Amino acid sequence: MTGADPAQAPGHRGDSRLERLWDPAADPAADPATDPAAPAPSRQDVRGGRLPSGLGDRYDGDLRVALRPDRPTVIANFVSTIDGVVAFDTDGSTGGGEVSGFADSDRFVMGLLRAMADAVLVGAGTIRAAPTHEWTPRRVQPGSAGLYAAWRDAMGIASPQPTTIVATASGSLDPKHPGLSAPDVPVILVTTESGAARLRAAGPAPNARIEVAASGGPIAAAALVEIAARSGARLVLCEGGPHLIGDLLAAGLLDELFLTLAPQLAGRDDATSRLALVEGTAFEIATAPWAELGSVRRSGDHLFLRYRIGGPVSSRKPA
Ligand SMILES: NC(=O)c1ccc[n+]([C@@H]2O[C@H](COP(=O)([O-])OP(=O)(O)OC[C@H]3O[C@@H](n4cnc5c(N)ncnc54)[C@H](OP(=O)(O)O)[C@@H]3O)[C@@H](O)[C@H]2O)c1
C-alpha cells in the first residue's frame, strides 16, 4: 500500500457492514446447533461457527471453514478489480488497499479470516510491497482488534496471533520489517540454502525462525503446507501474492478462495503490466481448476464471493 490517505480514496467505503445475499451454510436451518438431533460440530472438523455480537451482525451470518483430516485446510483472501487486477503496478508500490478503495468492509473480512487462521502464508513479494504491515487481525482493522481476539480465544486457538509464514527463495527480506519482527507474532521464514545464508547474515528477529525447504529455486507448495502442518496449523490463510497463489493452485492445495470484487476497472496496455490474481502459472483448458460458489455478500458496490476450489461444478463440461 502507499501512503495515500485511505479516507480520500474515491472508492472508499466507511461502513464495514456486509449484507448476505446468498449463503446456504449461514442459514439457521442448516446450522446443526439449531437441530437437537444433529451431532454437535467438533473442533476437530470445523473452525469458526456462530460469530459473536459485534462481528456476526457485521458479517451478516455465521462463518465456518471445514478442516481437512489429511493436511491443513488452505484458504486464500484477495481483492481484485472487476477486470481481475490485484495490484496497479508490479514494482510493489501499490497493493490491495488501492484496489479495494481501502474499503472498511474488505478490511473487516480480512481481519475475520486472520482471526480464525493458525497461520497466514505470504510470499516475499507481498511482504516487500507492504513495508509497514503486519499480518495480524489487530493490524488490519484496529477498531475490531478486541472482538477478533475474543473470538479467537472462544474458538480455542492457543496462539493469540497467527503465525506469519513467508515463502522466499532469495531470502531478500528486511528482518526489521514490522510484519517480521513484532515480538508476539511467531514468524517462519521458509527459504532455500542460499536464502537462509542471506537471512542469517541479516539477523532475523528473535520471534522469527528459518526453515530450509529447498536447495534452490522455488519451494514446492506442498513443502510450505507441510511446514505449516508441523507448526500445528489446521487452518492456513494465504494472502498472496499472485505467484504464491499460482503455486498453491498448480499443486491442488488451495481449498477455498474469499474474493472481494471491487467495483473498479484497472485496464492494462503494452507499457503497463498489472498483476492479475494468478501469475507465473498458466493452466491448460482441460486442467484449469474450476470453483464452486459458496456464498455471496455485498457491502455497497463491493461483492464478497466465497468459492470452493475443485468440487462438483455442473456446468463444467457441455452435456
Ligand atoms: N489485491 C490483493 O488481494 C493482493 C494480495 C497479495 C498481494 N498483492 C500485491 O501483489 C504484488 C506482489 O505480487 P507477487 O506475485 O510478487 O507476490 P508474491 O507471490 O507474494 O511474491 C513473489 C515472491 O515470493 C516468493 N515466493 C512466492 N512463491 C514462492 C515459492 N513457491 N518458493 C519460493 N519463494 C516464493 C519469491 O520471493 P523471493 O523473490 O524473495 O525469492 C517470489 O519472488 C504486490 O503489489 C502486492 O501488494 C495484492
How does pLDDT run across 63-103, given as a tens digit for each residue?
999 999 999 999 999 999 999 999 998 666 678 999 999 99
In this structure, which residue's CA is closest to atom 21 in ligand 1? 125
Going along the chain from its start, the domains and CATH numbers come out as 46-266+274-280+287-309 (3.40.430.10)
**pLDDT at residue 240 greater than cutoff 80:** yes
Average of per-residue pLDDT across 160-182: 98
Task: Kindly report the backbone phi and psi dihedral angles of residue 28, in degrees, each rounded to the nearest multiple of 5, phi listed first.
Answer: -55, -30
Residue tagged 505449516 (cell numbers): 228
For Cα atoms 179, 183, 188, give the angle at the middle one, nearest 5 degrees: 60
Q: Take atom 13 of ligand 1 and give the residue whose Cα is closest.
A: 241
Q: Which atom of ligand 1 is nearest to the CA of 171?
A: 40
**Ligand 1 atom with the shortest distance to the CA of 124:** 24
Per-residue model confidence (pLDDT) at position 217? 84
Rounded to the nearest 10 degrees, what angle do helices 145-154 and 104-116 cross at?
30
pLDDT at 39 > cutoff 70: no
Residue 221 has pLDDT above 80, yes or no: yes
Does the pLDDT value for residue 314 go beyond 60? no
In whole angstroms, what is the distance from residue 120 CA to residue 152 CA? Answer: 14
Q: In the 8-state DSSP scheme, what is residue 287?
A: T
- Grid coordinates representing 78 are 484477495
**Antiparallel, parallel or unpaired: β 119-123 and 302-309:** unpaired
DSSP label of 272: B
Cα(58)–Cα(75) distance, rounded to whole angstroms? 21
Q: Which of 192-196, 212-216, 273-277 has the lowest mean pLDDT?
A: 273-277
Inform me whether the pLDDT recorded for 30 exceeds 60.
no
pLDDT value at residue 7: 44
Cell triple for residue 155? 474458538
Of residues 217 and 168, more confidently modeled: 168
pTM of the model: 0.93
Q: Place 27 in a pLDDT band, splitting at 50, 70 and 90.
A: low
Mean pLDDT across 169-197: 98
DSSP at 39: P
Amino acid at 202: A
Counting ligand 1 atoms within 8 A of each CB, the residue from 74, 128, 168 with the most, and so the one to mutate, is: 168
How much of the chain exceeds pLDDT 70, in percent?
A: 87
What's the CA-to-centroid distance between 210 and ligand 1, angstroms? 18
The answer, yes or no, to whether any atom of ligand 1 lies below 6 A from the CB of 111, is: no
